[in-house]
């Protein structure tokens, strides 16, 4: 297989896993909103299961997104990376998303232990952060300013 075809496969897989990751990273904080705003013990019990399962389900998608993304960077090479300032911004934003994802583990644990001190309103704002970051990443990747 030539290098171009390998790169195309990496790009396709990167995008597939990114979409799957974001489906989860958009939905999980919405579950947090419902959980924070509910007072029903049965609802809390169900949401605890859903939150944990969803987070563990989408985490491999995050890892695979990173693997194929860094694989593309490797194929492009360091010289390309040095002159692509838009990619530096994108990588910082991806790093922020990874930290966001990891922080979700802490939130799932807090919900599991009934130790959440944040309001539904806070979780609504928390839910919007990855949307904004995704918009910026897509604009950077497409326009390459």
pLDDT confidence bin for 2, thresholds 50/70/90: confident
Q: How far apart are CA 20 and CA 99, in angstroms?
A: 18
Q: What pLDDT score was predicted for residue 4?
A: 87
Give residue limits of the domains in the chain: 3-143
- pTM of the shown model: 0.94
Q: How far apart are CA 86 and CA 144, in angstroms?
A: 6
**Res 1 pLDDT > 80:** no
């Amino acid at each position: 297989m030539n290098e171009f075809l390998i790169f195309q496969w990496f790009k396709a897989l990167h995008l597939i896993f990114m979409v799957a990751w974001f489906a989860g990273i958009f939905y999980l904080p919405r579950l947090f909103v419902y959980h924070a705003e509910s007072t029903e013990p049965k609802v809390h019990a169900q949401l605890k299961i859903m939150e944990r399962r969803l987070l563990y389900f989408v985490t491999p998608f995050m890892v695979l997104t990173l693997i194929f993304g860094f694989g593309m960077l490797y194929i492009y090479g360091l010289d390309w990376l040095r002159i692509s300032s838009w990619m530096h911004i994108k990588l910082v934003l991806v790093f922020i998303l990874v930290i966001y994802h990891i922080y979700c583990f802490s939130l799932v644990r807090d919900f599991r232990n009934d130790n959440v001190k944040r309001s539904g309103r806070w979780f609504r704002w928390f839910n919007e952060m990855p949307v904004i970051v995704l918009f910026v990443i897509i604009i950077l990747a497409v326009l390459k300013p």
